[in-house]
Amino acid sequence: MQIGLIGLGKMGGGMVRRLQEAGHRVFGVDLGADARRAAEEHGATTFEDVGSMIAALPAPRVVWIMLPAGRITREAIAGLAGQLTEGDLVVDGGNSDFRDAPGHAQTLGAAGVGFADVGVSGGQWGWQAGYGMMVGASDEHFELLEPALQALAAPDGYSLVGGVGAGHLVKAIHNGVQYGVLQAYAEGFALLSAHEEVDRLAAMSAWQGGSSIRGWLLGQMVTALRESPDLDGALTAVADSGMGRWTAEEAIRLAVPTPVLAAALHARFASRSDGAANKLLTASRAQIGGQKS
């Protein structure tokens, strides 16, 4: 494939590496010279503006957006609607609100441009192990994207989960579940810490080694403990990206009980309730406000 990628940061930059290594050709856009330079080192062709990238891409064009959720992504999609042509496809791979997807599809559809939303999980390590990819699209657009998905995803790590909007819905619920899992690990760690005779690193290493609660997130906690047994410097205030809130709102709308997910989200709120966390709380509110505006 020849694919345009808007946003070459941690996630986008990792995606460039996997796509290029699989034999695809990436045309990337980023305002940051360092991000462009890093992408070029992995074989991508980069541009400072979207118009130049679109002119270089052969039709039908596939343009994948990896930008912060909210206003920035919405403006990028609106801009593409005026620059792309019939038969092109826009993919939103950021952590966007799933409720925005129908509007994006309608805006792009008026110009004959397709839209797909892909929830992407794997973080900054995804370029090594592969990403988990939850695709909301038509069958036709999924088939068009599949060569790129195969290059990007971990083994068995991508699926068509439904039509437009389903990809980001599934990713939002994924993040809500992640909040609950992390909160459970944190509470277990706190209880272990209340017993001075217990070696917390040894205990959690044993859990990760073969117990029924082993997992990637627990592995990251074990790594952090090895580097700092007392977790010196770890922040006590925990932000949320907005996806946990959207999950809670959807659960309320549908009257589906999700007490663990809601409690984990509220625990994050509580972690930011003291004066020392005011700056982080303000930044979080500003972020969520930008996503919802």
Per-residue pLDDT reduced to its tens digit, 276-290: 445 544 444 444 444
Per-residue tokens: 165: 């909007």
pLDDT at 232: 86
pLDDT at 285: 46
pLDDT at 275: 54
The CB density around residue 42, as the number of other CB atoms within 10 Å, is 17
Fold of the domain spanning 171-292: N-(1-d-carboxylethyl)-l-norvaline Dehydrogenase; domain 2 (1.10.1040)
The CB density around residue 256, as the number of other CB atoms within 10 Å, is 9
How far apart CA 242 and CA 240 sit, in angstroms, is: 6
Fold of the domain spanning 2-163: Rossmann fold (3.40.50)
User: Is 171 annotated in the active site?
Assistant: yes
pLDDT at 286: 47
The secondary element (H helix, E strand) that includes residue 13 is helix 10-21
pLDDT at 125: 80
pLDDT at 235: 83
Model pLDDT for residues 219-244, shown as the tens digit of each residue: 999 999 999 988 888 888 898 889 99
pTM for this predicted structure: 0.89
Selected catalytic residue, list 10, 171, 279, 292? 171
Spans of the chain below 50 pLDDT: 276-277, 280-293
Give the mean pLDDT of the chain.
92
For the chain, give every domain's residue range: 2-163, 171-292
Residue where the block lists tokens 């039908």: 60
pLDDT at 240: 87
Residue by residue, DSSP assigns 113-159 as: -EEEEEEEE-GGGHHHH-EEEEEES-HHHHHHHHHHHHHHEEEEEEE
Model pLDDT for residues 123-134, shown as the tens digit of each residue: 878 888 899 999
Strand arrangement of the beta sheet that strand 25-29 belongs to: 45-47, 25-29, 2-6, 62-65, 89-92, 114-121, 131-136, 153-162
pLDDT at 234: 84
Residue where the block lists tokens 């982080």: 280
